[in-house]
Chains A and B, each alone.
Chain A
Amino acid sequence: MKTVSLTIDGKRVKAHEGEKVLWAALDNGIYVPNLCTLRDNSEPSAACRLCFVEVEGKKQPVPACTETIEQGMVVNTKGPGALRLARTALELLLASHPVDCAHCPSSGSCELQKIAAHLGVKLKTRRFRKLLRELLVDSSSPVFIYDPNKCVLCGRCVWVCRERLGIGVLGFAHRGFERVVTTFGDGPIAESKCRDCGECVVACPTGALTFKDKQGTVKSAHKERVETETTQ
């Protein structure tokens, strides 16, 4: 495969032709916040608006997950315009997130914590009025617990269940603030066609999907896999 060379944050890097800026940056040790895409997703939805970067010659910041690299491209992941957009997107997410890290099994491996630290945003940000969804936690599955209140609607689990595994139990339903990741008819996971593989849990960047251990309590060791997958 042909390689292309470009500059990211002043560093000369090489990546495969056709690669997206996001993966070129991550592969070269330059972190760009991201939630809604996975490497094997060839049609990123660019929904989370966290991966904005600035590209020389472009007037507006662009999402790194959909921007294809070009020979000689000059990318700045720290441009003030891009960071402003990313911070606002994160603050909006946090405004409807419980931020109950002290009791969350994903604390320490949560992408939200990581992104907040990277962008210099406080988890308890006050910029937007707090508006929580009070949704029921689903612990019907023998392998995992689903807490929709912590879901950021990134769609990773939906994509994995459907495209990578070809099962298609999870999806988006309802509209606006009521939008949720759910099953057919909003039924419990245990009554869906779920095969208990747990791949959605591995994909989830937050504490929305967490494994139960044999005793039925929650554990979060699996999250290490997510870390290596998304930051390699």
Chain B
Amino acid sequence: MVMTEEQARVRQQTKRILNRFGRRRGNLVPILQKVQGEIGYLPREAMLEIAEFLDMPEIDVYGVVTFYNQFRLNPPGKHSVRVCLGTACHMKGGYITLDAWKRRLGIDRGQTSPDREFDLDTVACVGCCVMAPVTVVDDKPQGKVAPTKVDGILLSFKLEKERQGEESR
């Protein structure tokens, strides 16, 4: 299989990061955090490179990446949307909120919209349960996010984008 330019770049970048670590399996999570910190997500090529470096089955790297919420398999969008499904938010209809986001953005959890504007995921309790159901948008917790509020948030992003477009014209 021929490597694309992007794949080769990911390999190089990952190798550079790996140089700073010992070949201990216990380093897996810190390595993944570092690689995601620099690349923004964990591309396939990066996971393969890490598995080789730590001499462990590739599936185990994939297993850890898919186990922790923190790790992403897709490039991040410009805006991050994190729907809380902690106990309180669950009780207050967190799943309805999640469905609303899914439908409006046309993506599933763990995915990024094709225009790379938004990425969608879930979290388990962000510590402001009184505001349930909560969605954290770009690190800012939004409270009582009913489907209509989802529309409102998306609209404000759209307006902002239009304004920026006008200003730069």
Contacts and interface: CB of A to CB of B under 8 A. Distances in A.
Interface residues of A, number: 14
Contacts of A175: 66-67
B67 A185 contact: no
Interface stretch (A91-99, A136-144, A165-173): A165-173
A182 interface: yes
A184 B66 contact: no
A174 B67 contact: yes
Contact of A173 (B44, B48, B56, B67): B67
Contacts of B56: 168
B58 interface: yes
A146 to B, nearest CB: 14
A168 B57 CA distance: 5
Contacts of A182: 59
A6 B57 CA distance: 41
Contacts of A169: 57, 59
A231 interface: no
A158 to B, nearest CB: 9
Q: Could you tell me the dominant secondary structure of chain A's interface residues? A: mixed
B128 to A, nearest CB: 24
Contacts of B66: 173-175
B57 A162 contact: yes
Contacts of B67: 173-175
A76 interface: no
Given A184-B62, A185-B62, A171 B44 contact: no
A183 interface: yes
Interface in B140-156: none
Contacts of B62: 171, 173, 184-186
B44 A185 contact: yes
B65 to A, nearest CB: 8
A42 B86 CA distance: 38
Interface in A144-180: 162, 168-175
B60 interface: yes
B63 interface: yes
B71 to A, nearest CB: 11
| Closest 3 pairs between A and B when the two form their complex, measured CB to CB | A168-B57, A171-B59, A184-B58
Interface of B: 44, 47-48, 56-63, 66-67
Interface of A: 162, 168-175, 182-186
Given A171-B63, A173-B63, 8 more contacts: A162-B57, A168-B59, A171-B59, A173-B59, A173-B62, A174-B66, A185-B44, A186-B62
29 contacts: A168-B56, A168-B57, A168-B58, A168-B59, A168-B60, A169-B57, A169-B59, A170-B59, A171-B59, A171-B60, A171-B62, A171-B63, A172-B63, A173-B59, A173-B62, A173-B63, A173-B66, A173-B67, A174-B66, A174-B67, A175-B66, A175-B67, A182-B59, A183-B59, A184-B58, A184-B59, A184-B61, A185-B47, A186-B62
